[in-house]
Every structure is written in C-alpha cells, then in structure tokens.
Amino acid sequence: MGESIIAFLDAWSPLDIVLIAQNFDRFLWGALVTLQLTVISLVVGGLMSIPLAIIRSGNNPFLNAPVWAFTYLFRGTPLLVQTYLIYYGLGQFEWIRQTVVWDPILSQAWWCALIAFSLNTAAYTTELLRGAIETTHKGEVEAAKACGLGKWMRLRRIILPSAFRRALPAYSNEVIFMLHGSVVASTITIQDLLGVGRWLNGRYYLAYEGFITAAVMYLIIVLLVSRGFRLWESHWLKHLYPRDAVAVEPKKGAASIRI
Amino acid sequence: MDLILEYQAQLLSGTWVTIQLALISLVFAVMFGLLGAWAKLSKNFLAQKTAVAYTTIVRGVPDLVLILLVFYGGQQMINSFGAMTGLWGYVEISQFAAGAGTIGVVFGGYMTETFRGAILAIPRGQIEAGIACGMNRLTIFRRVIWPQMVRYALPGFSNNWLVQIKSTALVSVIGLQDVVYNGFVAGRSTRQLFTFMFAVLMIYLVLTAISDLGLRWLDRRYSKGIVRSDNG
C-alpha cells in the first residue's frame, strides 16, 4: 500500500513529494531556527524600544537626537545591508578582531543576524510606540497628575499600559515583517527555513521543491501568528469595541426608547 | 573615502539599477494593486476569491522566497513548457525581470489593500451623484474616484513604497548587479567591506529621504482644499 502510493506520486506528481517528505525533519529544524531568531530578536528589540520610545516622546534634545538618528538609519535602509555590514563588515577592523567578543559572538553568523535583527526591530518598534505614547489622552495624564502620581508612576500605571494597547494592531504587522525579514539569515550561511530550501534545491539540482516547501511553511506560520494576534487584540482591546447589538436590544415588553 | 571614490563608477551604476528596479516594480505594483482592489470590490465571486488568495499568499510568503522561486522555478517552468509544446526554445529569465516582476506582484498585494481601503473611504453618495449627473463609469473614475482615492491612499502608498525600495536590495541575492551587489564585490576585493556596506547604507538613506520629500509634496498637492483637524 505505502509503496504503491510512493510509486504513484513518483510517476504523477509534478513535485518530488517523496524527497520533501524524506527531508521534512530538516525543514522543521529550519523553521525552528527561523522562529528562534525572530522571537529572540523581537524580545530583545522590544525591550530596547521601551526606554527609547520614552526618550523619543520626551523633549530632551540631547537624548532625543541620537535616538532619532538611530531609528532613522535603521528604518531607512534595508535589513540585508545592515546584516552584511555587521557580519562581513566588522571584520575589517583589526581592533574588533582582537576583542574577546570576536570569537564567540561577532564572527558567528547566528549572532550577527540576531544583532542586526534586534536593532532593526528595535528601531521600528520605537517609532511605533512613540506614536502610541504621544496619542495618550491629555485628560488621562492630567487626572494622574491630579491624583498625585509621579512621573514614573504615570508612565508605568497610566501611559504605557494604554500605549501598548494602542500599538498592538500595528505591532502585529511588525512581527510579521520581522518574520519575513528573517530570510536574510539564509544569505549569511544560516540554515533557517529558506536556507534549508536552498540547500535542498542545490543538493538535488531542483528548481521548485525546496522553495515551495519553505513558502508553504512560511505561509502557515504567518497565518498562525496573525490569528494569534487577533485573539490577543480581542482580549486586550475588548473595552474599545462596540457592544454586542443583541445585548443592547431592549427586552420584549420593555418600553422602547426612540432617539 | 578615497577607495569609495575609486569605485564610484560601480556604486553609481548599481544605484541606477536599483532605482530602475524600484520604479519599474512600482509600476507593476500599482497596476496589480488597482486590479486587485477592483477584484476585491467587485460582485464577481471568482474575481473576489482570486484576489483574496492573491493577497493572502503574497503577503504571507517572504519576498526573497518568491524571488528565488520565480527566478529558478519560473525559468524551469517556461522551458519545460516550451519543450513540451515546441513553441519556443531555451529561454532565460534575466535577474532584472525576475526581480522587478516578483517585487511588483508582491507589493501589488499590499497596494491592493491600500487602494481598497481608499476607494471604500469615498462617500457612496458622491458616486451616486456622478451617476445622477449622467457621467459614465470612466468619467466617474477619473473625476470623482481617482482624485480622492489618491488622497486617501497616499499614507499607505508612501509606507509601501518605502518598504518596497528597501526590498529591492534582496535582488542582489540572485546576482543582479545592483548597488548592494556592486558594493559587496568592491568591498571584498579591497577587504574594506565595512566601508563599502556603509556607503551602500548611505545611498539607500538618500533614496528613502528623497522619496519621503517627494511623497510629502504629493500629499500637500492632493490635500489642497482639505481642512485637517490638527488634534491639538
């Protein structure tokens, strides 16, 4: 039975499905590397972006200018070039190669990709969060002041919680962009999901199989992530949605109010 | 710095390739975007489902994967089809065509959403008024929908364009001699990769800064006569 299915696929499928199945564990490992790089850089970049966004929305020019320059540089240039700059570029300097971090970190493709991705997503998230902080309702801040909350307490209790909520829909886009951007890792020798696809095609001299398998797996991951974010939004932003029409409808027999 | 001046011819020719690639793929993206928006808003079931599938796939799969698939897979597909039917001999897709076509199709998916939202933002009554005045569909599009659609679509369009111009860097992976590729080759042969990659970074920064200025000018132009609430 199993053999006849394989023989059938061998003869009729335009794609070499048997080969994909044989190498499927490699694709799963590749997906794991992709997810690992994406998640770690999102966490690191996200943590960096909170203080940076607070600085950007404040009015201290000495702090604001360098953070602005950082976000402008990283948002205005391609992730591919940023990654090349770190992975291939840093070796140009003799003194960097002399430091202790060269061998374990800066000469490793994985770490370089992680550094580039983290800085990149930190820049985008900073601007996103800045927008959310700056649109905080004036009255909320005034009320917090009137209640005697200090500057940090206002940030922690009033401004940031509502800013995070406002930023969430845009942040889900940033997460998907980062996931898409992580394919850059495969150009600096990392075996991520696309890296495995390229390896398979190169090894067996194929044109479709590796890329199509990778494409389908990326698509599945993206759909799962956006579904997850929609659930998170419906939980976090529940209070902003209009109430259910059914719940507002007056009960039978109750006096209906005309507006 | 001297080194960069020595290699400025390569960097400049690469920059020109990048600009051409970005502009041509933008034309594709706008065409696919308009087509996609029309299909998504049409009452035709098949057109609607096709457009939904198109935007889902194109926005779900990373652009580099699609570029590689089109460049290697597309070539094979065209050739095996040619060999099967005997219609054409060996065909080679150029890196430029594969890159411009794929980036155009991918960003057409993003443009679809932008244009769809912009068309929906136009009050229905205005289109009805156009019909009442006896305009035909083309006139309504030209005089009522287009001028307002551009205004509503500009913020999203600007965003897409700024992402798209950066995506063109990926085409260096399939060997197109754009600014990244040329910068990389120059940097490797002089063992000064940091210098050259930094120069490439600056070139992209200039390109995005110029586009930003141009888009702001367009925004002012198309928002003439509109009072904006300044939220202050």
Look up the domain containing A38 and give its range.
Answer: 18-239
| Angle, CA of A131, A72 and B28, to the nearest 5° | 90
- What is the pLDDT, as a whole number, of residue A218? 95
List residues of B whose CB lies inside 8 A of any A CB: 56-57, 59-66, 68-69, 72-73, 75-77, 162-163, 166-170, 172-173, 180, 184, 187-188, 191-195, 197-198, 200-201, 204-205, 208-209
Contact A81 B204 (CB under 8 A): yes
Percent above pLDDT 70 for chain B: 96
Mean pLDDT for B13-42 is: 94
Predicted model pTM: 0.87
Q: Which pLDDT does position B48 carry in this prediction?
A: 93
pLDDT in tens, A66-78: 999 999 999 999 9
Within a domain: residue A198? yes
| ipTM, interface predicted TM-score of the complex | 0.88
For residue B173, the chain A residues in CB contact (below 8 A) are: 80, 187
Using a pLDDT cut of 70, give the percent of chain A over it: 89
Q: Each residue of A184-195: pLDDT tens digit?
A: 999 998 999 999
Domain contains A246? no
**Mean pLDDT, to the nearest integer, of A5-24?**
75
Using the predicted structure, report yes or no on whether residue A11 has a pLDDT greater than 70. Answer: no
Q: How confident is the model at residue A227 (pLDDT cuts 50, 70, 90)?
A: very high
* A123 is a domain residue: yes
- Answer whether residue B132 shows pLDDT above 70: yes
Q: Tell me what pLDDT residue A254 has.
A: 46
Q: What is the pLDDT of residue B146?
A: 86
The number of folded domains in chain A is 1
> What domains can you pick out in chain B, each with its CATH number?
20-177 (1.10.3720.10)
Q: Say if residue A41 is exposed, middle or buried (CB neighbours under 10 Å; 0-12, 13-18, 19+).
A: buried
For residue range B162-198, what is the model confidence (pLDDT) as tens digits? 999 999 999 999 999 999 999 999 999 988 899 999 9
Average pLDDT of span B78-91: 80
Task: Output the domain CATH number for residue A119.
Answer: 1.10.3720.10
